[in-house]
């Protein structure tokens, strides 16, 4: 009789602990799913990363990033974004950098954060300097901005000739892909 009661208590103990273990596992699963969702959202919000190319999984707070990207900066940025999510204990980077092979005459279309932060302002400065150096253009009245190598000219100037010359000067600067000339002639 004592043996039957002991077995009954043992069975109840195992069943009760199995329920607690399942509850703890489910709670951990929900936390990991939440982390994965937040990391994916950060990847998709960022313009410098193709979120579709990176697979995210989370196991007990450890985020695993897998996939292929075109540039090292994308992989590093993905890791940085994942590290910024609350409750992430560690980020394992398994991303492969697979630089695309460009054929003759093909242009690289994806630009890194570094290129946007350094190249575009550099082009803007060179165009502005060239406009200010030319005596036939009033460079002080022309606002210059650059996005992805495309130069935008805005402002009010004195003649159509000056408008055309400003556009030609901008096109002559190294790194300029195109010029959008929004200069208005006012007399």
CATH topology of domain 113-185: 3.30.1340
pLDDT in tens, 10-28: 565 656 555 544 445 445 5
Same fold, 35-101 and 113-185: yes
Q: What is the pLDDT of residue 22?
A: 45
pTM of the model: 0.43
* pLDDT > 90 fraction of the chain, expressed in percent and rounded: 35
Of 43-57, 84-98, 133-147, minimum mean pLDDT range: 43-57
Q: What is the pLDDT of residue 20?
A: 47
pLDDT at position 40 over 70: yes
Higher pLDDT, 146 or 73: 146
Rounded average pLDDT over 99-128: 68
Higher pLDDT, 72 or 169: 169
3-state secondary structure the chain: CHHHHHHHHHHHHHHHHHHHHHHHHHHHHHHHHHHHHHHHHHHHHCCCCCHHHEEEEEECCEEEEEEEECCHHHHHHHHHHHHCCCCCCEEEEEEEECCCCCCCCCCCCCCCHHHHHHHHHHHHHHHHHHHHHCCCCCHHHEEEEEECCEEEEEEEECCHHHHHHHHHHHHCCCCCCEEEEEEEECC
Q: Does domain 35-101 have CATH number 1.10.15.40?
A: no
Domain residue spans of the chain = 35-101, 113-185
Rounded average pLDDT over 155-169: 93
């Amino acid at each position: 009789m004592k043996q039957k009661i002991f077995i009954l208590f043992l069975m109840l103990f195992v069943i009760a602990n199995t329920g607690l273990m399942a509850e703890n596992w489910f709670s951990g699963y929900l936390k990991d799913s939440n982390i994965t969702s937040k990391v994916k959202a950060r990847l998709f919000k960022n313009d410098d990363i193709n979120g579709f190319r990176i697979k995210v999984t989370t196991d007990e707070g450890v985020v695993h990033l897998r996939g292929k990207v075109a540039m090292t900066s994308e992989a590093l940025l993905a890791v940085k974004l994942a590290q910024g999510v609350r409750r992430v204990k560690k980020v394992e980077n398994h991303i492969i950098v697979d630089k695309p092979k460009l054929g003759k005459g093909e242009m690289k279309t994806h630009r890194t954060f570094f290129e946007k932060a350094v190249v575009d302002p550099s082009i803007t400065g060179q165009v502005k300097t060239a406009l200010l150096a030319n005596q036939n253009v009033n460079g002080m009245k022309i606002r210059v901005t650059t996005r992805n190598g495309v130069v935008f000219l805005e402002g009010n100037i004195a003649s159509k000739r000056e408008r055309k010359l400003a556009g030609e000067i901008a096109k002559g600067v190294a790194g300029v892909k195109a010029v959008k000339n929004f200069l208005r002639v006012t007399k």
